[in-house]
Amino acid sequence: MAYYHRLGNIPPKRHTQFRQPDGSLYKEELVSSKGFSGIYSNLYHIHNPNNVISIGEPTPYSWEPAKEYGLKQTHLKTSGVGATGKDYLTARKMLMMNNDCMMGICAPEERKMDYYFKNADGDELIYVHDGEGVLYSQFGKLQVRQGDYIVIPRTTIYRFEWKEEGPLRLLVIESHGPIETVKRYRNEVGQLLEHSPYCERDIRPPGELYTESEKGEFLVQIKKGGMLHPYTYGHSPLDIVGWDGYLYPYALSIHDFEPITGRIHQPPPVHQTFQAWGFVICSFVPRLFDYHPLAIPAPYNHSNIDSDEVLYYAEGEFMSRKGIDRGSFTIHMGGLPHGPHPGTVEKSIGAKETHELAVMLDTFRPLFVTTQGLDFVDPAYPMSWRE
C-alpha cells in the first residue's frame, strides 16, 4: 500500500516534543519496513511500548508439508467444515505452504478475542468469506464485512471482534514478504493508474482511532519463528493518540474489483489483485464473457511450467469444474496440464456472463499440502477429467 494516511493528534514535526496534558511526553514509535528504507508509520503512545510485565513460555505454532504426497491435481473439500477451533489462533488451519507463503482456513467458535495477536513472521491477507466485524489495531478501527480482503502488515498488533449472528469463515494467507498492490498498475510515485481494476477510493484504511488508555495486564501473542510467544504488558498496546504514515492495515472488497474483459478469453493475470514475494493473488468476479463471435468462454487447457495454481471457490457455479462446492480448494500443480472438465467447454459456448467469485493464489515455487490439509483431500479428483 502506498498512500499517506493519519488519524488522531500528532506533533507538527517528527521526533520532536509532544506532551500529554500532565506535561509528560507521549512516547513515539517508528514502525518501519526494510530497516529504515521502506514504508513506515509513526505512532504516539500514552505509555512506554516496551513496558513488559512478563514473558511466558513459547509454544509451537507452525505447520509441516505432508511427506511423499506426490504429484497430483488436488481438491481439498473444506466446504462442509464447521468450526475449525475455539479461538482465532487455534482455528487457523494452514492447508498448503512453501517457503514464500501459507494458505488455509479459519472458522473460530469464539467471536471476540481476549488477547491481541502480532505476526512477526509475515504479512497477512485475510479474505472474509462469511462474517462481519471490526479489526482493532494500533492504527484504529477498521470495519470489515463479507467479501473483504484485509491486508495486515507484519508486527501489527490486532484483535478481531465479529458479530455473533451468522456464519464466520475466513481464508488466511501468510506471506514471507510484503503484500502489495500490483506494480504494473502503479505510476512512478505509487498512485494506481487509470486502467487499474481498482483505485485508492476502493481501499479502506482504519477510519476511526481507538484508544485504550487504561493500565493493567494485556496479553499479546507474538508469532515468531514458528512459535507463539506470550508477552504481557502493563497497558493496552492500543494506547495510541495519533499516528501518520504509509504502513497500516486496510481492506479492499472483492466486489470493488472491476474485471478486465476482451473479445477472446483473457488469461489469469488480468485478474491480479495483489503481489508478494514468490506469489500473486487474483480475484475472479462477476463479469461479461468474451464477445468474439466464435469465442469459447471456458478456460483453455494449461500446462504450468513455473507455478502452482490454487483456486478458492467463494460463490457461484464455475462453468469449468464439476463436483466443486462453495469453500473448496483446487490445486493444479506445475508439471501437469489442467483445464475444464469434459463437457464444460461446449456447454460454455454462447454464455454471456458469469456470477462466480473466487480467490486465486499462484505461486512461483512448488506448493505443498500440509499434514492438516491431508484430512480434506478428495482422492477421486486427479481422475475427474476421464471422458
Question: Which residues are part of the catalytic machinery?
Answer: 265
Does 308 appear as a known binding residue? yes
- Asked if residues 297 and 289 have their Cβ atoms less than 8 Å apart, the reply is yes
Query: Concatenated DSSP letters for 196-232?
Result: SSS-GGGEE---B------EEEEEEEEEETTEEEEEE
Residue 264: CB partners within 8 Å, gap ≥ 6? 290, 292, 295
Cell of 331: 490445486
Does 292 appear as a known binding residue? no
Name the DSSP class of 80: T
Strand 116-119 relative to strand 215-224, pairing: parallel
**Cα gap 125→148, rounded to integer Å:** 10
**Cα gap 38→26, rounded to integer Å:** 25
- Torsion angle of alpha carbons 64, 224, 176, 76, nearest 10°? 30
**Cα gap 96→82, rounded to integer Å:** 19
Q: How many CB atoms lie within 10 A of CB 293?
A: 6
The annotated binding site is made up of 302, 308, 338
**What are the binding residues for homogentisate?**
338
